[in-house]
Structure 1
Amino acid sequence: METLFGLDYQTWWFLVVGGVFSGYAILDGFDFGAGAWHLFLRKEKSRRIAMNAVGPVWDGNEVWLVIGGGALFAGFPVAYASLLSAMYTPFMLFLFFIIFRAVSIEFRGKEEMKWWRKLWDVVYSFSSIMLGFLLGVVLGNVLMGISIDANHNYTGDALLSFLNPYSILMGLTSLSLFMSHGAIYLLLKTEGKLYERLAVLQKYAMGAFITVFALTSVYTLMYAPHLSDKLMTMPASLILPVLVVLSIANIPRLTHKKKYLQAFLFSSLCISFMLLLCALEVYPNLLISSISPENNIDIYNAASSLKSLKIMMIIVAIGTPLVLGYTFFVYKTFSGKVKIDETSY
């Protein structure tokens, strides 16, 4: 088996896909969180400031989702097909809400009528909440296991089987984390009374996240032993749960000191460490079959040809610095507090 720096190409592509989705969760996560707070901001000016805080970057953040989906399809087409078949309903809902969220951002400021703006405020906030929730629901199903037969076909109910206690807990965990993450981002972009209100809202979101995260962790230990057992076989990997807890503990400490940039970095690290922990728990599997372990889809039976993976790794080596450079440039250009003018949403 050919390797690159000691790892086979299938593992490298597993890391690429995981890295892209982690970047997406960090970047689109904060603007989902910011949107989820929209209806909690009562004044028109406050809502406009919050929307303009994400206005220059939200569409660029969604590019990471396109890259992630493309990377999964290119590297592991079998897993891509099975996942989209199994999670057809949540993915269609996700597509529905992501379209209406984009429409609401662009349409809200086109008319002055109160009913018009209130309508799009509701659509924007509800769509953001559902998007954050659905991402956790999909992750919960992937971790718990999906009804996949020996031919890698989904055999479960396509309508509501994705809603189970664990996926709902994961959905609430991701939503509360994104709302805390988004509030921290807005604190970096706002001032005055809006800033003070967001500081209070962020504390509520962080409290909710810690509570739901604790419940989800207990549920995982009790009802998903295949995840925790994997860590026990590799004692060195236990450092990851420790890093997750430390990153979570640092967020309220830093927000209390009003060090919001550092808090945002630790919030981003928290998302990264949690997703890395999930990846480690399932590796080398991509999709766990709830029917039989023999039906699991892993990085080897789902991968494209070795030649394809090699060519795509070259593309990744060229494209990654460009994407990171562009992302840095955009955030540097639009850094600082938001000011409303005639070009604002």
Structure 2
Amino acid sequence: MRLLVLGGTEFVGRAVVEAALGRGWEVTVFHRGRHQPPAGVRSLHGDRTAPGGLAALRAAGPGGGWDAVVDTWSAAPRAVREAARLLRGRAGRYAYVSSRSVYVWPWPPGAAEDAPLVDGAADAGARDYAADKRGGELAAVDAFGAADSLLVRAGLILGPYENVGRLPWWLTRIARGGPVLAPGPRELPLQYIDARDLAGWLLGALERGLGGPYNLVSPPGHTTMGELLRACVSATGADAELRWTEPEAILAAGIEPWTELPVWVPPGGEMHDAVHRADVSRAVATGLVCRPVEETVADTWRWLSGLGGTGPRRSDRGRPGLDPRVEAKVLGLAGGVPGTTL
């Protein structure tokens, strides 16, 4: 197949490009040139937010077009609208990597693709993440129609090339060794998707001509908080001691779930039910396969170590992770915890 990826040099987009190349596809990437794309692609440069920024895309097209487009945009929906309109008639299908954030909060436990959606507009400027992603969905459907638009509503995404910093924070923290605040319970079930598994499912869906929305994250309980952190200890080979701490003690200390302790949210509340209990039966029935957490963690550490232990970071996202002084206080240590936050 002939694939066009809008982006394709970072995290999910890069995973899609590498997976497509692995299938022997002919891949074109359209990007701003800030990062080197994988070898073997046709590279087009442009800034879709600038006047005339799609010129290189407008002038290109192998044999008149592409079989499919993958778009990971997460800001102003009008950028998706302009690209999708330009590519209408020049590409067969349009896959937009969206988010489960498009559902009205609080997300019902076990929510499927028919859950209520937030308001969004295809021609809008940037508002907030949920509205922007919903607007991007509407832009894709407006240009390509429901049948030829694949809406990939991803949940928590981890794996090599992660530029948000959640799993990299845990890995670098555990690599420093010493007592580590491990948020319990250790059997807390988690849901996430390795970017490479997302890419594999997405490309298979394009081959099969699937359209419409799909929740894309692992089945509930694919792993647990304990398994995730033990995998981090194993991958880093660190002399780290996981000190499992009750959720009540963590919350009483004013520690923010999800942001200060990435991935973790306390059990029993609407946030855990929303983030880690999604219905993904539609994706599983259409071929979603998720690799073991040990593989995701080990490969992420290998990639991160190759960069010197400091991974890339998106400028539009906050800095995840816990202040060592707060960690030490909660653990009741007399001294500090070695090192500093990522």
Q: Which has the higher contact order (CA 8 A, sep 6+)?
A: 1
Mark yes or no: TM-score above 0.5: no
TM-score range, shorter chain: under 0.3
| TM-score, normalisation: structure 2 | 0.27
Query: Of Structure 1 and Structure 2, which has the larger fraction of its residues in helix?
Result: 1
The TM-score normalised by the length of structure 1 is 0.27
More strand by share: 2
